[in-house]
Structure 1
Amino acid sequence: MWPRWTTAHCGRRQGDVTQHLTVPTSDAQSPSMRTGTNGLSLNDSVYERLLRERIIVLGSQVEDSISNQICSQLLLLAAEDADRDISLYINSPGGSVTAGMAIYDTMQLIKPDVATVAMGMAASMGQFLLSAGAKGKRFALPHARIMMHQPSAGLGGTASDIEIQAKMFSRHKKEMAQLIAEQTGQTVEKITQDSDRDRWFTAEEAREYGFVDHVASAANLPG
């Protein structure tokens, strides 16, 4: 089945504007098999086992519930051992700017280095979080694809509302371009130009651009 296209949009939630960085997502649902232990599904058991190995997986669109979960896991692992690295595996089409920035800020807050690994697709906010990993510890699997573009938002409401939303959108756009420039070593002007439209990178192209430091192999993969 061909993937459906998810339109990036700006929605109202409790009076706030939610901006999204999103690319195509599939309608397919992950299988969930119940185990006989503690009422956990097979997926739950796998993720708990990975967490014990200090591995976190972002395998969906970035939204508030996923962001809260990943932030909690980062804080928990940092509290358990502040000196051991944490690995964040990313296969995501992107999502909410504010939800993604919560993950980013938590990654910067905690003491352990967060190594990031792109698998499948790291697009939009997924690309941003991939590049936010600890320098020298950012990886892409050989056939991963990375996509960068600028935040997009639909504006609505009264003229005053639209003006407020436009200012917030402009602020987010400039802030993200500055951060990506710092992460990659590119200039802000180049990031702004290159992200004007969807731009896709192979793993090797992502390494050359500065999104990641290594194309992963069994020998250098973290975790």
Structure 2
Amino acid sequence: MLFTRSLRTLAQVRPCVSVLRRGFHNGRDDPMGFMVPIVVEQTGRGERSYDIYSRLLKERIICLMGPINDHVSSLVVAQLLFLQSESSKKPIHMYINSPGGVVTAGLGIYDTMQYVLPPIATWCVGQASSMASLLLCAGAPGMRHSLPNSRIMIHQPHGGAQGQATDIQIQAKEILTLKTKINNLYVKHSLQSLETIEKNMERDHFLSAEEAKEFGLIDQVLVHPPQPGEEST
């Protein structure tokens, strides 16, 4: 189980506690806007430092944390394409803790997840709401996970329009088209009927990890790291 293996791997990395900086170690801005730890790894050629997210990327782990916008979408899409170029068979693990965000940005991530060849395991840590819940359930069948106290929320897309009456009519038609598209994607991944999806997405619908499993949004709830010879629940 990569969740356990990645923790074990990082436990072998000596943290450089005194080195903290805003943004990624290579100069990119941190999309979450807080201080990013730098870790130092001992190699045969000496020490090598990474920001924590680059170190996790070496283990084929992508962290989707915070609101989904065009900037976050571009980072996640780039990481997915990079990991596919590294290996088209090894699974990619995407950890999600997000309240959702811009629909088009989320659909860009979704389409890339479906496009790349490696199977994608999704993990909900904290919350996966709105568009983030669609990304959670869009993982490879049997590889969609949640930690036990995470919350998943689904609802219909939000939108607003202003301007001339004709412009408002165009925008209203577009958001209804998006609503239909997103409903059908939930049908595809949850195997629920369209009527059930439409009913549950009419308003904010919150689910616990176990309820999300019963609804078909995830496959497993990871209560604790599996022991040797033990499967996760």
| Aligned with 1:218 (options 204, 217, 225) | 225
Partner of 1:33: 20
CA distance in 2, matches of 1:100, 1:128: 9
Q: Which runs of 4+ in 1 moved over 3 A?
A: 37-41
Partner of 1:127: 133
CA distance in 1, matches of 2:97, 2:59: 19
Q: 1:160 to 1:139 in 2, by over 3 A?
A: same
Partner of 1:42: 37
State the Cα distance separating 1:42 from its structure 2 match: 2.1
Partner of 2:114: 108
Tell which has more relative contact order, 1 or 2 (C-alpha 8 A, sep 6+): 1
CA distance in 1, matches of 2:26, 2:188: 45
TM-score of the two chains, using structure 2 as the length reference: 0.77
Which protein is richer in strand relative to its size?
2
Q: How does 1:70-219 map to 2 (within 5 A)?
A: 70-216=76-222, 217-219=224-226
User: CA RMSD, aligned part only?
Assistant: 1.8
CA distance in 2, matches of 1:136, 1:39: 37
Count of matched residue positions in the alignment of Structure 1 and Structure 2: 189
TM-score of the two chains, using structure 1 as the length reference: 0.81
- Please tell me the residue identity of whatever aligns with 1:33: L
Structure 2 residue matching 1:208: 3-state secondary structure: helix
State the Cα distance separating 1:33 from its structure 2 match: 2.4
CA distance in 1, matches of 2:72, 2:155: 21
1:63 aligns with 2:69: yes
Identity %: 44
* Greater C-alpha radius of gyration: 2
CA distance in 2, matches of 1:39, 1:76: 18
State the Cα distance separating 1:49 from its structure 2 match: 0.3
CA distance in 1, matches of 2:210, 2:109: 26
Partner of 1:17: none
Query: Can you list the C-alpha shifts for 1:81-102, whole angstroms capped at 9, x where unaligned?
Result: 0010000000000000000000
Query: Can you list the C-alpha shifts for 1:1-52, whole angstroms capped at 9, x where unaligned?
Result: xxxxxxxxxxxxxxxxxxxxxxxxxxxxxxx9229x7668526700000000
Query: Can you list the C-alpha shifts for 1:104-125, whole angstroms capped at 9, x where unaligned?
Result: 0000000000100001010001
Structure 1: where are the runs of 5+ without partners? 1-31
CA distance in 2, matches of 1:33, 1:195: 42
Structure 2: where are the runs of 5+ without partners? 1-18, 29-35, 39-49
